[in-house]
Amino acid sequence: MSNDTNTITKRERDCVICLKENSSSGFPMRLHQVAALMNIKAPTALNLIRRLERKNLVEIQDGMAMLTKKGEETVIRILLVHRTYESLLCQSGVPKETACEEVAEVDYLMSEDNARLVLKKIGSPEKCPHGKPIPMEELH
Amino acid sequence: MSNDTNTITKRERDCVICLKENSSSGFPMRLHQVAALMNIKAPTALNLIRRLERKNLVEIQDGMAMLTKKGEETVIRILLVHRTYESLLCQSGVPKETACEEVAEVDYLMSEDNARLVLKKIGSPEKCPHGKPIPMEELH
DNA sequence: AATATCATTAGTATATACCTAACATATGAG
DNA sequence: CTCATATGTTAGGTATATACTAATGATATT
């Protein structure tokens, strides 16, 4: 077996986050934009996005990339985990940016369910240290 | 550049942990034992251990593998991080084994410094949920 | 001496992640 | 309408990590 459509890599994670944060109101993104934002060359970006397409997280049409429903869900899950552990680290005394960087390395590997329990334990903050909302009901 | 001797991969992480937990009192381990414990074939294990050798984490002699000083330090750092976040998850209501599995995917990617701050925040427990000590002074 | 055990070499394969060079195509400027 | 630019895409290449099998070497045990 090899086509593991349920796990993603760090770069794939970065890419779906990039797609989410830079496509205004669900509008697709140009490939060269993804490449520029991710600091990679166009063919590398195309390759990456094609892998995401195989995993049903992204749709490509006329050189434009857009998250699928599954892709959107994946991003929201990652963001919930990200903002939860980011909040935990900041509450513990870790600087905001340090926390963000570290959590970005692991958020896509951790479960939403566990994050929800941790979120509760740290007092259910409604916003992450950057002031962004910690998603809850959007998920189910 | 490519020879990144400061970061390790998941399998390399698993390997140094295996070496630590199965070599009684600093005694080196046979390669076939490492292979068996990690569920991989001997040549794969040899390859892995050679990578760790290049990173100065392991020494090989006569088909025996042993952690170097740097390797020991790496393991202790990983275990501190592991047991800290494992404790956090369990305190939050995550079952012990679930916590252990999830944390094993990320412990080698997270910093000791941040873990120490989290450890303090969750009440500086002296033992992880499995009853193993959370290393402190051994580190510096 | 034969056998079993282990390490090692060599060769193959896949996935990820990056690149350059070349080509295709559309669009806007002149 | 043509030229230049922007963009996407192909093709081909490199490197690392992770795995395998098959064959060979080396060392012990019986």
List the beta bridge partners of residue B30. Answer: B64
User: How far is residue A33's CA from residue A16's CA, in Å, rounded to a whole number?
Assistant: 13
pTM of the predicted model, to two decimals?
Answer: 0.93
Please, what is the average pLDDT of chain A?
A: 93
**Quick one: pLDDT at residue B26?**
73
* Same topology between domain A10-67 and domain A73-139: yes
pLDDT at A2 over 70: no
User: How far is residue A60's CA from residue A30's CA, in Å, rounded to a whole number?
Assistant: 10
* Phi, psi dihedral angles at A108 (to 5 degrees): -75, -5
CA distance B18 to chain A (A): 22
Residue B20 one-letter amino acid = K
Contact at CB, B120 and A91, closer than 8 angstroms? no
Find the Å distance, CA of residue A57 to C1' of nucleotide D28.
56
**Looking at chain A, how many residues does it have?**
140
Domain residue extents for chain B = 10-67, 78-139
User: How far is residue B27's CA from residue B31's CA, in Å, rounded to a whole number?
Assistant: 13
Nearest CA to B102 among A140, A107, A1?
A107
Nearest CA to B111 among A121, A112, A109, A103?
A103
Residue of A nearest to B112 (CA): A102
Residue A4 one-letter amino acid = D
Give pLDDT tens digits along chain B (140 positions). Answer: 345 778 999 999 999 999 999 987 778 999 999 999 999 999 999 999 999 999 999 999 888 999 999 999 999 999 999 999 999 999 999 999 999 999 999 999 999 999 999 999 999 999 999 999 997 665 55
Contact at CB, A120 and B94, closer than 8 angstroms? no
Domain B78-139: which topology? Arc Repressor Mutant, subunit A (1.10.10)
Find the Å distance, CA of residue B44 to C1' of nucleotide D19.
7
Domain A73-139: which topology? Arc Repressor Mutant, subunit A (1.10.10)
Find the Å distance, CA of residue B19 to C1' of nucleotide C17.
30
User: How far is residue B33's CA from residue A2's CA, in Å, rounded to a whole number?
Assistant: 27
CA distances from A45 to A13, A41, B23, B66 (A): 13, 6, 44, 41
Question: Is strand D less than 7 A from the beta carbon of A64?
Answer: yes
User: How far is residue A52's CA from residue A50's CA, in Å, rounded to a whole number?
Assistant: 5
Of A88, A102, A110, the CB nearest to B111: A102
Question: Alpha-carbon dihedral of residues B119, B135, B78, B25, nearest 10 degrees?
Answer: -170
Find the Å distance, CA of residue A76 to C1' of nucleotide D3.
46
pLDDT one-digit tens code per residue, A96-127: 999 999 999 999 999 999 999 999 999 999 99
Contact at CB, A114 and B105, closer than 8 angstroms? no
Residue of B nearest to A105 (CA): B109
**Quick one: pLDDT at residue A63?**
86
Nucleotides of C under 7 A from a protein CB: 5-11, 14-21
Q: Which residue has the higher pLDDT, B139 or A48?
A: A48
Report H helices in chain B.
10-22, 31-38, 42-54, 69-92, 96-104, 112-121
- CATH classification code of A10-67: 1.10.10.10
Q: Taking the CB of residue B31, how many other CB atoms lie within 10 A of it?
A: 18
Nucleotides of D under 7 A from a protein CB: 6-12, 15-22
